[in-house]
Amino acid sequence: MTTLLVIAKEPVPGRVKTRLTPPFTPSEAAALAEASLADTLSALMDTPADRRVLVLDGSPGPWTPPGLEIRPQCGGGLDERLAAAFAACAGPALLIGMDTPQVTPGLLEPALDFSRYDAWFGPADDGGFWALGLRDPDPALLLGVPMSVPQTGSAQRARLRHLKVGELPALRDVDTAADAREVAAQAPWTRFARAHLALSAALR
């Protein structure tokens, strides 16, 4: 059984996308986070998988599509939470976050095929990673990896050095206002881009 995981935080003002403030207010930053999460979950639901799971810090909201399995995040650091998400999978799994609203089913579907690879890795432009797929989910591959630093991606990739790894395209995470502007321009069809356009117009 192949599982597609999204690890996310409920888009509550003051708790998400704090690096977008300023220029955006905490409520506006949360609105952008909600749009990004909705786009991500839409791509998730449109991607063929045996199981689709939202690993959530917080409570579901109107952005939660029907038919989605929701599991609470465990405590601890991000490496521990990612490891726990994989540990709950009985077979191959692909995990992504909520910071890449430009993700599409076309990007995700190939990474659910583990016939040729033991793992999949999607680097992020900021030095992290936006996707990690494991044919045999082993929490030890994540535990102890330093998270949210420029070396996160290289450290995680090094943990996979003994595996045959399929490489996914690099994507830009939305962390700063510059990131938001760039990603919105790259993916004008998304809810995120529409929300960014409306909120940016209000700033002028």
pLDDT band, very low/low/confident/very high, at 91 (cuts 50, 70, 90): very high
Tokens of residue 110, six digits:
């190939």
- The predicted pLDDT at position 99 comes to 96
Show me where the domains of the chain are located. Answer: 3-203
Q: How far is the CA of 188 from the CAs of 31, 33, 184, in angstroms?
A: 17, 16, 6
State pTM to two decimals.
Answer: 0.96
pLDDT band, very low/low/confident/very high, at 187 (cuts 50, 70, 90): very high
pLDDT of 203 strictly over 80: no
CA angle 99, 108, 37 (to 5 degrees): 30
pLDDT band, very low/low/confident/very high, at 201 (cuts 50, 70, 90): confident
- The predicted pLDDT at position 204 comes to 61
Q: Which position has the higher pLDDT, 202 or 153?
A: 153
Over range 164-189, report the average pLDDT.
97
Instruction: Calculate what percentage of the chain has a pLDDT beyond 90.
Output: 96
Least confident stretch, 42-46, 119-123, 129-133, 198-202: 198-202
Cβ(173)–Cβ(129) under 8 Å?
A: no
Fold of 3-203: Spore Coat Polysaccharide Biosynthesis Protein SpsA; Chain A (3.90.550)
pLDDT of 182 strictly over 80: yes
160-173 confidence digits (pLDDT tens): 999 999 999 999 99
Q: 156-193 burial string, b = 16+ CB within 10 Å, else e?
A: bbebbeebebbebeebbbbbebebbeebbeebeebbbb
pLDDT of 5 strictly over 90: yes
Rounded distance between C-alpha atoms, residue 67 and residue 56, angstroms: 15
pLDDT band, very low/low/confident/very high, at 1 (cuts 50, 70, 90): confident
Q: Which position has the higher pLDDT, 172 or 201?
A: 172
